[in-house]
Amino acid sequence: MTPGTQGRQGTRGTQAEGASAPTLWDRTRQLAAQEILRTALRLFSEQGYEATTIAQIAREAGVSQRTLFRYFGTKEDLVGGSQDEFVALMTETVREQPAEADVWEALRAALKAALSLHTSPEDALERFRLVHRTDSLRAAYLGKRVRCQEELLPLLEARLKPSGTARVRARAIAATAFACFDAATTTWVETDGRGNILDLYDQGLAAVRG
């Protein structure tokens, strides 16, 4: 999984080239979302994900529960981000890759884009820790991953040479890439965030493909 979208207002780390400058209202909403996230992650870290309620997060963040749900559709979204946004980002990134990029390159670009949604390495580390150590979050991530793989399937298949086995090859490639990403994030969490997730991903993928 690549947790870390900024709720329903998820944005990449930097503004896209050519996009209009954010308004004061946009910046205010982004700051509010970031404060809610900081509060939620602190409470999850201090007392556990399951023991922390939405009401408590809203109260300590200084917002109403209704306001919180305008930014984040579910409690799980506070850690893993919106499923729709995650899937849309991954598929959009693969679709945008140049025609000469193979499926492995396209998938790596999509994973890199998803990682860029984290506000900092510390933020990413805390989120991945929560996902790896909380059964309900892990289950939600696996469901998100399966959906994402299926959405990516036709895009990956189109980058393979036409054959009667293109569909199964595309599915196997997607499953392998996500498995290597899981191995990378697990190792990264175990070492308290040392190194780079994409470097670990590359090492794992090289081991599999080699």
* Model confidence pLDDT, tens digit, residues 30-75: 788 889 988 999 999 899 999 999 999 999 999 999 999 988 888 9
Predicted local distance difference test score (pLDDT) of residue 9: 39
Percent of the chain topping pLDDT 70: 89
Name which of 205, 204, 92 is nearest 152 in CA terms: 92
The pLDDT tens digits for 82-139 are 788 889 999 999 999 999 999 999 999 999 999 988 878 888 999 999 999 999 999 9
Predicted local distance difference test score (pLDDT) of residue 20: 62
CA 152 to chain centroid = 15
Mean pLDDT, the chain, integer: 87
CATH topology (fold) of 7-209 = Tetracycline Repressor; domain 2 (1.10.357)
Judge whether residue 180 has pLDDT over 50: yes
| Nearest-angstrom CA–CA distance, 27 and 89 | 22
Judge whether residue 12 has pLDDT over 70: no
- How many CB atoms within 10 Å of residue 42? 15
Dihedral angle of Cα 71, 48, 139, 173, to the nearest 10 degrees: 80
The token duo for 185 is 């994030």
The pLDDT tens digits for 52-62 are 999 999 999 99
CA 146 to chain centroid = 13
Judge whether residue 81 has pLDDT over 50: yes
Domain boundaries, the chain: 7-209
pTM: 0.81
Judge whether residue 18 has pLDDT over 80: no
69, 55 Cβ separation under 8 angstroms: no
| Nearest-angstrom CA–CA distance, 80 and 68 | 15
Average pLDDT over residues 179-203: 96
Predicted local distance difference test score (pLDDT) of residue 61: 93
87, 151 Cβ separation under 8 angstroms: yes
